[in-house]
Structure 1
Amino acid sequence: MAVLKPYRGSYYLWNYIPSTPAAALFAALFALSTCYIIWRTIKTRALFCIAFVIGGLLEVIGYCARAAAKDKTDQLMPYVIQNIVILVAPALFAASVYMVLGRLIRSLNAENLSVVPVRWLTKIFVCGDIISFVVQGTGGGVMVTGDSMKTGESIILGGLFVQIVIFGLFAVTAAIFHTRLRRQPTEASLASSTWASTMVMLYIVSALIMVRSIFRVVEYIMGNDGYPLKNEWTLYVFDAVLMFGVMVVFAWRFPGGIVPRKNKARDPEVSVEL
């Protein structure tokens, strides 16, 4: 029988013995959904979805490490590996979501309806996402030293706040564009019946990632003695289930059909062929 062991002295990395069956289940679910998205990405040559694929692979690695940690609760590396990769994976999901909106706007010839210039839209949000990713990863790296756990947690918290702000601004940008497009439809939007469902996908995915990020902020603010870190079910309900939902919804309305095309005397555009 597995026993909860201290990492150093009386300090415990875990407040419970991680459930191997639960972690193995989600490792399998993320593996299956990631394989499907890899297949769709290759089939449609949607290279902008590679970040999403990497995020799925990180989820698989994270839950595999978590499943293996049951008898290693006194070891730092299994704890840090599962903690970091599960923590940063949604930032990669978000990067693909940002790119989808930019490509969709171009496909509908609706650049003038975007509150942020389309040539900057993807760059701004992806750069913000990269900052969030790097900050969270740095915080996880600091935690690896073992002597700076609190400092690492504070850095991670800062990265999560950046992620929430960037994602909130993205949601507002998407909503404004959607509202304007309904009021001033373009010929391309009238000719396509799929762009609206793509927007719905973006909204659902964004909401799921936002809820998960808020949960993570609450988790780190409450600290090691808080309810979330003392009860494993919170991780699965407010992170694993939500991120698996992100993968399912993204797969449902996979944006690989937004493909490049040449437009007369202009730069390459995209058209919706979903």
Structure 2
Amino acid sequence: MSSRRVLLLLVQALLIWDAVLAQSPTTNTTNPASGNQRKRSSIMKYEPSVPGNIIFGGLYMILGLIFSYHVYKNSDKWAICLPIGAIASSLGFFIKITIDPMNLKLMTYIIQNAFIVISPTAFLAFNYMLYGRFITAIDPKFDIHNIKAGSKMEKSRFSFIPPRIVGRTFVWSDIITFLIQMAAGGLQAGGGTKGDAKMSELGFNLFLAAVIIQGISYCLFTVLLLVAVKKLIEERRKSPSMRGNGWMGLDSRTTLIVAQLFVSSIFIIIRSIFRIVEYAGGYDGYLANEEVYLFVLDAAPLVIAIGVFAFIWPPVLLSTIAAQTRQAEQNYSMETTSSAPIPIGQRSDHMRLV
């Protein structure tokens, strides 16, 4: 997964470079006669809010440090994308404070924009990988301690996509849409340079389509999660030994991870809808030129989307869920094969998920 995430970051960086090039001709036509005119002809058409960027930069940095502690303490190397993404986003907001839209330094703008735009891909990747590990934890047929060669395509009754390839499936979906966006950015840049309005329009429409497809991709992942939880609840209700004492027959730890994933997904979708509407409005659109919407509909939802994992670290819960699920499955098998099943009321506590 690490090599794929590196490729994803490179693609995003190239995408941002293309997007900046598409707008760069406007920066050469700055009119010094009026401050307002100069401001309108800059790539960044608003004065960055110092308090707002400090607040969100600080929030992301705090979350990044918390996630770094969890990853280090529990040796969860697979989850390192989360602290990296949070810290990168924090740097983006801090760098943004130094930008003067009246005297814009293109490289500074590219760097801060790259950090802010790229970092959410790490948050999505974490959710994809957490889902796969969650499915293997609740499905007792998976040997979580001995992943055999060639078993990545092993299916689960809870997921119509093999859980061990969910992460790479959706990450590659994101990579493809980013490649489309990169090509669209090139068309916009070429059209702007050559004065070809049709080429620029084609690039814009292609870019918007790719952003919409990216949003749909995460919605499909959320549907995948919904189906898995529905099947899990149905199974728990049918089996007294597997039934937990928490919400809808689930045990408390499983309920917590499900809640974390759903809350995170809801706010990621909110942010995706904002980005789609923002891009649909164009570079000169209202949303693209009012920083408050970036804070309220982009930065804040993402803070909540990853903040739900800060104080209760999901990987810690997964190991307990896996152990309890396999113990309960073993007890259930013994009961169904026994000629004299133990009445439900007389089962000891360890036979049930808690």
TM over 0.5: yes
Match of 1:52 in 2: 82
Q: Per-residue displacement from partner, 1:172-226 (whole Å, max 9, x unpaired)?
A: 0100110111011276674842011101111111111111111111111101221
After the TM superposition, which of the residue ranges 200-209 and 119-128 deviates more from structure 2?
A: 119-128
Q: Per-residue displacement from partner, 1:144-177 (whole Å, max 9, x unpaired)?
A: 99x67x6886665444223212101100010011
What is the one-letter code of the residue matched to 1:74?
A: L
Query: Aligned to 1:100, which of 122, 130, 138?
Result: 130
Distance in 1, Cα, partners of 2:185 & 2:256: 37
CA contact 1:208–1:246 (8 Å) conserved in 2: yes
Larger radius of gyration: 2
Root-mean-square deviation over aligned CA pairs: 3.1
Query: Aligned to 2:229, which of 175, 178, 203?
Result: 178
CA contact 2:131–2:163 (8 Å) conserved in 1: no
Query: What TM-score results when the alignment is normalised by the length of structure 1?
Result: 0.81
Distance in 2, Cα, partners of 1:68 & 1:49: 31
CA contact 1:108–1:189 (8 Å) conserved in 2: no
Query: What are the ranges of 5 or more consecutive residues in structure 1 without an aligned counterpart?
Result: 1-5, 264-274
What is the one-letter code of the residue matched to 2:29?
A: G
Aligned to 1:113, the other structure's residue is in SS state coil
Q: Are 1:241 and 2:300 an aligned pair?
A: yes
Alpha-carbon distance change, 244 to 79 in structure 1, aligned in 2, over 3 angstroms: same
After the TM superposition, which of the residue ranges 108-117 and 57-66 deviates more from structure 2?
A: 108-117
Query: What TM-score results when the alignment is normalised by the length of structure 2?
Result: 0.64
After the TM superposition, which of the residue ranges 133-142 and 32-41 deviates more from structure 2?
A: 133-142
Q: Per-residue displacement from partner, 1:219-270 (whole Å, max 9, x unpaired)?
A: 111012211122110100011111111221121442121349899xxxxxxx
Identity %: 27
Alpha-carbon distance change, 132 to 211 in structure 1, aligned in 2, over 3 angstroms: same
What is the one-letter code of the residue matched to 2:120?
A: P
CA contact 2:42–2:102 (8 Å) conserved in 1: no
Q: Are 1:163 and 2:201 an aligned pair?
A: no
CA contact 2:268–2:301 (8 Å) conserved in 1: yes
Query: Aligned to 2:176, which of 87, 112, 131?
Result: 131
Query: Aligned to 1:226, which of 273, 282, 285?
Result: 285
The within-5 A match list for 1:3-42 is 7-10=27-30, 11-42=41-72
Distance in 1, Cα, partners of 2:76 & 2:91: 23
Q: Are 1:112 and 2:112 an aligned pair?
A: no
Distance in 1, Cα, partners of 2:301 & 2:293: 11
Alpha-carbon distance change, 247 to 179 in structure 1, aligned in 2, over 3 angstroms: same
What is the one-letter code of the residue matched to 2:62?
A: L
Query: Aligned to 2:260, which of 184, 198, 201?
Result: 201
CA contact 1:59–1:85 (8 Å) conserved in 2: yes
Distance in 2, Cα, partners of 1:44 & 1:143: 46
Distance in 1, Cα, partners of 2:61 & 2:188: 27
